[in-house]
């Protein structure tokens, strides 16, 4: 329970700190991301593609396990913040790995601290076993 509260608080903090970076995209306008926008590619194994839900924002992508028998479970996120924002939040971030520190921006991955879930735990375990290879496949 404490972990869920901490993850929710961290997500809220990121949204508050990064909200100036968020812009609504519409089908009628073209959007050319600035240097602070998160852009990357990742390889998701075909066997997991139907079970992983990706939510994309301008500066963060969140990957959740689609738990058919319960609530979606957080797997990992990829986030890009300015160096100043990183200095403000880095002490609240746990289970992270910095992928890139370039041009005044920090791109990092935060991973789940859950080892099991209620519902489709076998599927979640499969996703956990392949999570590191998915993270290693990230191309910035």
Q: What pLDDT was estimated at residue 68?
A: 84
Q: What pLDDT was estimated at residue 86?
A: 96
Overall average pLDDT of the 81-104 stretch:
96
Higher pLDDT, 126 or 8: 126
Q: DSSP strand E in the chain: where? A: 52-56, 60-65, 73-82, 96-102, 105-111
d(CA 57, CA 21): 10
Q: What pLDDT was estimated at residue 40?
A: 94
Backbone phi and psi for residue 103, each to the nearest 5 degrees, phi listed first: 55, 35
Other CB atoms within a 10 A radius of the CB of residue 39 amount to 11
Q: What is the mean pLDDT of the chain?
A: 81
∠ CA 113-117-119, nearest 5°, is 160
Q: What pLDDT was estimated at residue 65?
A: 97
Higher pLDDT, 7 or 136: 136
Q: Quick check: 26 pLDDT over 50?
A: no
Lowest-pLDDT range of 19-23, 45-49, 54-58, 117-121: 19-23
- The residue extents of the domains of the chain are 2-20+37-136
d(CA 131, CA 23): 29
Q: How many CA atoms lie within 13 A of 40 on its CB side?
A: 29
pLDDT tens-digit series, residues 33-79: 566 689 999 999 999 999 999 999 989 999 999 998 888 999 999 99
Total-model pTM: 0.75
Question: 110 Cβ partners below 8 Å, 6+ apart?
Answer: 10, 76, 77, 79, 93, 94, 95, 96
Q: What pLDDT was estimated at residue 139?
A: 95
């Amino acid at each position: 329970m404490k972990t869920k509260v901490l993850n929710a608080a961290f997500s809220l903090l990121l949204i508050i700190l990064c909200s100036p970076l968020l812009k609504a995209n519409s089908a009628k306008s073209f959007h050319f991301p600035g240097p602070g926008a998160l852009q990357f590619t990742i390889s998701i194994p075909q066997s997991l593609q139907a079970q992983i839900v990706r939510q994309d924002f301008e500066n963060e992508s969140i990957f959740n396990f689609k738990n058919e028998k319960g609530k979606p479970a957080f797997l990992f996120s990829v986030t890009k913040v300015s160096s100043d924002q990183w200095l403000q939040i880095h002490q609240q971030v746990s289970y992270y790995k910095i992928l890139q520190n370039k041009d005044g921006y920090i791109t990092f991955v935060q991973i789940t601290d859950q080892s099991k879930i209620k519902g489709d735990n076998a599927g979640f375990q499969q996703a956990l076993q392949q999570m590191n290879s998915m993270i290693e496949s990230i191309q910035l």
